[in-house]
Structure formats: C-alpha cells, structure tokens
Structure 1
C-alpha cells in the first residue's frame, strides 16, 4: 500500500494501489465527494474511503458501480498512471450540513 506517497503507483504496484490512486483521480475529476460517489454507486462512504487508502479489495461488481458513477470504463480504475502524474487533490474537507426537515424547524 502506498496511499501516503505523492508518487503514482508503478507497473509492479498491487492492484489495490492502482485502484486507490485512480478512484480518487476519477472521483475528483467528476466533482464528487466520497459521500457523493458512495450515494451514486450505492456503496458505503467508509468503504470508498478504505478503497482510496488501498486497504480494501473490491469485487468487480463494486468496481463497475464506482466506474459508472464516475462516468468512466471500469478498466480506467486499473491503469498505471504516468510516472510524473501528480497525486489527485482532495476535495474540500467536511460534510455538507444535513437539511432541516420542516417538522424539525424551530417553533417560535
């Protein structure tokens, strides 16, 4: 696992490292947060986080769902990045505040 490295995984890297790098790259390119991707792909947000850290081994079905949510072909998640490719930048930190339901509004 090389999730903390700024260098892209090479040809001999484990598939989980390639998936971690590419998932973050394509998720951020699609303008999706981990939460947004998890919703679109119907997987748990913490699972997306673990995938992006290279500590989960996803099934092909999960990879297909994630790829579809990012509007890419599943093979893009397993490509070897260019040696000079920069680590994908993180989206803005923090979660969006939950919407207040009308029934939960303040009563004055």
Structure 2
C-alpha cells in the first residue's frame, strides 16, 4: 500500500468514472492474482460481496459502514476463537504436565 496514490485515484474517479472503475477492477484482479488459487477464489467471493454491498448501499458512506461492520464481526469471531484456542492449549499443557508427573512416579 506504500505506493498507493490516493490523489491519482480520486482525480481519475472525478474526471473519468468509467476509466476509474476499469483501473480499479484491474488493480483488484492483479492483487488477487498474486495469491494461490484457493485463496484467490475466496478473495474473489469477498470482492463480489463488497461490490454487491457497494451497489445496494446507496451511498459510499453506507457501503463503508456495512463493510466495516462485517469486518468488526469477523474480528470479534477471530478474537473468540483465539481465546478458545488459548484455553484449549492451557488444558493440553496441564494434561501433558500431569502425564509427565505420572511417568516419573512409575
């Protein structure tokens, strides 16, 4: 993202919306194309969802809010899964430690 020129994209969108959307689609496809096939498929599905949200949102702000909410929900789910994984790891560590103590006794 370091080479992303926001002003260039803004000017293109203002001056030639058709060219903007062609260039946008091309940039998205180039990015997706850098990923393995299984990831590329998921990225295309996600982009399709984002495009549908953009079309149905009515305004760019509504689209932003909808996509942001989706990201927030996914991050919350990842956080919950992280907590569950940490708890399972702690239980596994305790079980392994218990087995080690039993082996020393026997």
The higher-RCO structure (CA 8 Å, 6+ apart) is 1
Q: Taking structure 1 as the reference length, what is the TM-score of the superposition?
A: 0.25
Q: Which has the larger radius of gyration?
A: 2
